[in-house]
Structure 1
Amino acid sequence: MTVRVGILGATGYTALELLKILVRHPEVEVTALTTRQEDRPHLSAIHPQFHKVLDLHLENWGPQEVAERCDCVFGCLPHAASASVIPEFLEAGLKVVDLSADYRLNDPAVYTQWYGGDHPDAERMKTTLYGLPELFREGIAEAQLVANPGCYPTGVSLALAPLLKGGFIRPDGIIADCKSGVSGAGRTPKLGTLYPECNESFSAYGVGTHRHMPEIEQNLTVYSGKQASVIFTPHLVPMDRGILSTCYALPDQDASEKELRSLLEETYANEPFVRVRSDLPATKHVSGTNFCDITVRRVKDRVLTISAIDNLIKGASGAAVQNFNLMYGFAETTALL
């Protein structure tokens, strides 16, 4: 079975990583790449890595033209732009993995609060499956549309959700202190991510206003059944890729560090992309992979979890292919291990 695949918005870093994975996927043929540019650039002009690998042009095609060439599309468009076109793909019978934020939240009012403006497809967003398989696998195999998780929510949610569900930590007063490489800001040039601005510098950003905060709280609330409250502070680190998340929570049971780690090990025993470690994870250990490495510590009166992911793979494109594999009945690890 060969699935014809397209990528909407193929100029960015997530599209680059998607293509690296998809060209080695034995059941995929990449048949369409879109851009809002008018000059129809060749893929190798945008991503030189694909010179003599994939002979395609990026086209300024609409949904109908893409739908004629594809069975499934990955959406790498900005928020709002994605939800404005995805309904047309769904009506045409295509499957969609959306990497934007448009379908991650299940409350249109929360979307409006954090992203501004009304949601273009508000009724559908309420029921769209959230594609973090390790926590929310049920239903993905039958889904036509899956919302791919954000990068920060992936690392934080995988580390904390089992401890919350098991009643080992309190859902209130959680602090998520996270550090990301510069690629997390995207490929479009911005003053703060220019080399002279971010090199040899370390800074917080989006304090109290980052749009991943409601997504993190939603994940932890849905998975644990308890209303979660999280203070989330992201930081920019002068490295290309990777996210390290250190989370602090108050214990709700008197459990040892060994017992907490055993719970994580039991939860993720059959998950191919989560590795529970006794040592301390580092972004270098997961760079270029779809793994999330997690550990847990007891320090004074707090429970600490530390997780590491590659923000472009497990935090974006690798997770998207993981969802794609589930949607089409392929082995979940296909092209990812």
Structure 2
Amino acid sequence: MIKVGIIGATGYAGGELVRLLLGHKEAEIKWYGSRSYVDQKYAKVYQNMFQLVDDRCLDDNMEEMAKQVDVIFTATPQGLCASLVNDDILNKVKVIDLSADFRIKDAAVYEEWYGIEHKAKQYLDEAVYGLCEINREAVKKARLVANPGCYPTCSILSIYPLLKEGLIDPSTVIIDAKSGTSGAGRGAKVDNLFCEVNENIKAYGVATHRHTPEIEQELSLAAGEPMTISFTPHLVPMQRGILVTAYASLKREVTWEEVKEVYDRYYDKERFVRVLEQDVCPQTRWVEGSNYVDVGFKIDPRTKRIIMMGAMDNLVKGAAGQAVQNMNLVFGLDEAEGLRMAPLFP
């Protein structure tokens, strides 16, 4: 049985980790870490865990945690994991970080976009970007996994096959994305109040969103050349879900069958990526509560462009589900363990 510690167990991503791991046959949560709720019963913070979790919240002492568990998940704001991790900890346990601390390989780029000093630059080269469908073999050997962001996960998986196969012009990629409010976290913010969000949709982080360099980094690796993208996220009045609509110019004329064959070649054997049938567009309601990503596309002969689409649950495949998927790979388990739940509906 894998012993698990979670730092940030009372945030939305941390709460989702708890929900998923309670159904995991090979894992047991030993440490519910939460700086804000130390010594309070976890089920008092999340009443849905009443009579399911009897433990009390502990602090975020990673050194002590590493003596008691096999893997540590850090579902925390940027900067915390980098400030805590060290060689002694990494020699004892695996660390799966759900923040952005180890996703971006260039520390200067991280510091520019996140506005904080990187406290553990020495681990940037070692950390594996944990997008399982692309970096599976590297994840299996990792001590430190950088769990991808929600927008990057959906964006990259929607675009990656066509970029890798050279069917689209890398310089023309534009990504329009929409997310539910849980993506902003559980902290109280005026912009996320019901009266501010309900019956409204808005763009935010226009030309400045900090997931931009992460998407550019990974798509550049796929393209084999540096890429600069336009990425605009939007907040929509729903709790969960991400919808990505990405646009790019085609390098040559293609048929629907050709493009479908490319997507199938990359994702046919993937447990959690579903390539949709012709003229079926991804919808967030068909992936809610699950670890699935639904991808689809539409060729526009008039503009010689292709529209690539993806939908997923930002808290599952976009955070906790992908983290559990990474844990399964690291420990040599069935990749789908703890993640086989069907999407919720309605």
Q: Deviations over 1:147-189 (max 9, x none)?
A: 0000000011001111011010011121100000000000001
Q: Deviations over 1:184-209 (max 9, x none)?
A: 00000111110000000000000011
Corresponding position of 1:305: 308
Q: CA deviation at 1:117?
A: 3.0
1:212 is aligned to 211
**Which whole-Å deviations, capped at 9, do the CAs of 1:225-254 have from their partners, x for residues lacking one?**
122221000000000000000000011122
Residue in 2 that maps onto 1:193: 192
Distance in 1 of aligned mates of 2:22 and 2:230 = 39
Q: Which runs of 5+ in 2 are unaligned?
A: 341-346
Partner residue, 2:285:
284
TM-score normalised by L of structure 1 = 0.97
Give 1:60 shift: 1.8
C-alpha contact 2:70 2:93 (8 A) present in aligned 1: yes
Structure 2: distance between partners of 1:97 and 1:315: 14
Aligned pair in 2 of structure 1 residues 129, 175: CA closer, same or farther (>3 Å)?
same
SS in 2 for 1:137: helix
Structure 2 match to 1:72: 71
Map of 1:106-185 to 2, 5 A cutoff? 106-185=105-184
SS in 2 for 1:172: helix
Partner of 1:325: 328
Contact 2:83-2:119 at 8 Å conserved across structures: yes
Identity over aligned residues, as a percent? 42
Query: Contact conserved, 2:94 with 2:143, CA < 8 A, in 1?
Result: yes
1:56 alignment partner AA: D
Contact 1:172 1:230 (C-alpha < 8 Å) held by counterparts: yes
Deviation at 1:86, TM superposition (A): 2.2
* Paired letter, 1:150: G
Moved over 6 A (4+): none
Following TM superposition, by how much is the alpha carbon of 1:72 offset from its aligned partner in structure 2, in angstroms?
0.6
Gaps of 5+ in 1: none
- Check the 8 A contact 2:130/2:139 in 1, yes or no: yes
1:88 positional shift: 6.0
Counterpart residue type for residue 327 of structure 1: V
**Count of residues paired in the alignment:** 336
Indicate whether 1:86 and 2:89 are aligned: no
2:343 corresponds to: none
8 A contact 1:244–1:283 mirrored in 2: yes
CA distance in structure 2 between the aligned counterparts of 1:9 and 1:95, rounded to whole angstroms: 16
Question: Does the 8 Å contact 1:76/1:100 carry over to 2?
Answer: yes
Instruction: Tell me the distance in 2 between the aligned counterparts of 1:285 and 1:116.
Output: 36
Question: What does residue 44 of structure 1 align with?
Answer: 43
